[in-house]
Amino acid sequence: MYSFANDYSEGACPKVLKALIETNDVQSAGYGVDEYSLAAADLIKQVIEHDDVDVHFITGGTPCNVLAISTLRAHEAVISCESGHINAHETGAVEATGHKIIAVKGKNGKILPQEIRDVMADHTDEHKVRPKMVFISDATELGTIYTKKELTAISEVCKEYGLYLYLDGARLGNALVATGNDLSFKDICDLTDIFYIGGTKNGAWLGEALVIKNDELKPDFRYLIKQHCSMLAKGRLIGVQFIALFRDKARAYLDNARNADIMAQALKYIFRQFSIPMYIDSSTNQIFPILENRVLEKIKSNYTVTEWGPYDKDHTIVRFVCSWATQKAAIQDFYNDLVMYVNED
């Protein structure tokens, strides 16, 4: 079986693994104030061209989201697309902290400025929660990306209403190297209040770098991390990995993401050769072909994929994900197999 189920099926990329081995015997301070975590934070500040931020290394995407949203006061709420990870796939982790998620429809996995305005018009007094943050992701959960124009428009609406803009960057690398992207790391920081740079899905063993730009969100953040059980005693584990990923202007980080995107786009090309349509036009490492159920059953005999949902009675929307580790040979094998699957009865 070969897995196209996600981008964390493999361990760490060679550069990360090497760095972990090389630093293994070194003693360091605990809880993320070690020399590696501090150096990694400096590297990130250089790459995003912002010195005025706090960087915290967190174990995973869900903890980042819970922590970022936990900066709000008890009665404050977060606006998200229905497809946003906090709304669709986090088991109520955010709601469990007491913060309501106000879900809007969105378009292609992206929130529309008008939807934020509509929520604000509908929340005007103390009988409803006070919307205080907007959650977006780039790349989105549907593999799409925000353009600079779109992100700027959202950022401006957030400023107009005094909302914090939080960007979930679980797949930020995949967005930044995607065809059609015109955002840089610096733009992401310029246009948001808080965001994270995902490592888990881009070649780290685990770990994300949460970047806080807005001074209002910075105080006592380490208290929040500890209280939410997210402070690693061996915090250097994430620092070491981010040094490997972010040195030389984030070279390894971007190379990993590029491989994942290119491989997924090659898969998309292959599906197109068989006139298999896509559910959504994604330019990153997640693609969503609409497969005949008979073809899907054959694929499932040799490949692990995610069934996203039914399209109609004979077709299913399926998610294929590639990673930093996906090799050309896997794509070639899939092509050879698909020729068979499509042509067999």
Ligand X SMILES: Cc1ncc(COP(=O)(O)O)c(C=O)c1O
Q: How many residues bind ligand X (CB under 6 A)?
A: 9
The residue with its CB nearest to ligand X is: 61
Judged by beta carbon, residue 168 or residue 338, the one nearer ligand X is: 168
The rounded distance, in Å, linking the Cα atoms of 84 and 86 is: 6
| Contact indicator for 97, 69 with CB cutoff of 8 Å | yes
Judged by beta carbon, residue 23 or residue 62, the one nearer ligand X is: 62
The rounded distance, in Å, linking the Cα atoms of 50 and 47 is: 8
Site for ligand X in 209-268 (CB under 6 A): none
Judged by beta carbon, residue 37 or residue 174, the one nearer ligand X is: 174
What tokens does 6 get?
């996600």
| Contact indicator for 196, 60 with CB cutoff of 8 Å | no
Binding status of residue 61 toward ligand X by CB under 6 A: yes
Judged by beta carbon, residue 71 or residue 286, the one nearer ligand X is: 286
How many CB atoms lie under 10 A from the CB of residue 9? 14
Whole-number minimum distance, CB 55 to ligand X, in Å?
Answer: 18
Chain center to CA of 227: 24
Whole-number minimum distance, CB 84 to ligand X, in Å?
Answer: 8
Judged by beta carbon, residue 60 or residue 113, the one nearer ligand X is: 60
Stretch that binds ligand X, among 15-23, 59-67, 214-222, 244-252 (CB under 6 A): 59-67
The rounded distance, in Å, linking the Cα atoms of 216 and 24 is: 37
Site for ligand X in 155-174 (CB under 6 A): 168, 170
What secondary structure, in 3-state letters, does 176-223 show? HCCCCCCCCHHHHHHHCCEEEEECHHHCCCCCEEEEECCHHHCCCHHH
Whole-number minimum distance, CB 141 to ligand X, in Å?
Answer: 5
Residues that bind ligand X (CB under 6 A): 60-62, 85, 137, 141, 168, 170, 200
